[in-house]
Amino acid sequence: MITNYRNLLFFDLETTGLDYKKDRIIEIGIYNLIKTKKGIFELDKEVNYLVKYDGKLSEKIIELTNITDEMLRKKGIEEYKMVNEFISNITDDTLLIAYNTQFDLNFITQAIRRTFKKPKYSIKCNMLDVMAFYKDWYKYPHKLESAIKELKITNASNSHRALDDAKATYQVLRKLFQIEEANFDDYINVFGYNPKYGVNYEIFKEITYTGQYGGSKEIKKYNDNMKGKMQNVK
């Protein structure tokens, strides 16, 4: 149950590309809800930081995000400050929530490993991929912008800016909670599979991946095979 958690940490990243091993985070958005004594979740804080980048952004990324090299140079914080801000919100009782969660966690985990020089570091809390939840109940396509449109959410947009997208993810999840037949616990530590990104059992050893086009009963057969191959990875 969602009330088992101390805080719900919605987050989103903008990056220089799709490869978490060589590309970098250029923006982070955090929308953090804390459980009150009455057992309801209220907004604790919302954070939006640009992150310094030594390279030069591609025209595609500039066009997509409206983030420029000059903005990063003048307003960006150092990567280690971004990392510290992120992990300062995480406890064992945190639920980490994003849309296409594996993508964002690949990048943030890699940044944490660089910062603390811990090449095997992984985040130790439960995770929720809102995309995996959405896939089970709505037809393809399953992008964030598709979910916003399909669910008729008027106070959210997929702007490709980190805080806006973190807030949009929150709004999508609120709508999904209205599905009476859905069991929230079924989606804890379940990621939506996308062949564009593959699976990453090196970082996420306890994750289950849904089928590409949705449906919790379409779990990929390679889950067990891959976990068997990765069982000796520490």
**In the chain, domain spans:** 2-229
Which residues, other chains included, contact 230 with Cβ-Cβ below 8 Å and sequence gap of 6+?
A: 201, 202, 205
Model pLDDT for residues 68-98, shown as the tens digit of each residue: 999 999 999 999 999 999 999 999 999 999 9
Model pLDDT for residues 18-37, shown as the tens digit of each residue: 999 999 999 999 999 999 99
DSSP-derived secondary structure letter, 230 = T
- Distance, in Å, from the CA atom of 84 to the CA atom of 168, rounded to the nearest integer, reads 24
Model pLDDT for residues 137-168, shown as the tens digit of each residue: 998 899 999 999 999 999 898 899 999 999 99
Model pLDDT for residues 164-211, shown as the tens digit of each residue: 999 999 999 999 999 999 999 999 999 988 887 788 988 988 898 887
* 110, two tokens: 């890699």
The reported pLDDT for the residue numbered 214 is: 60
Q: Which CATH superfamily is 2-229 part of?
A: Ribonuclease H-like superfamily/Ribonuclease H (3.30.420.10)
User: CA angle 13-16-17, nearest 5°?
Assistant: 95
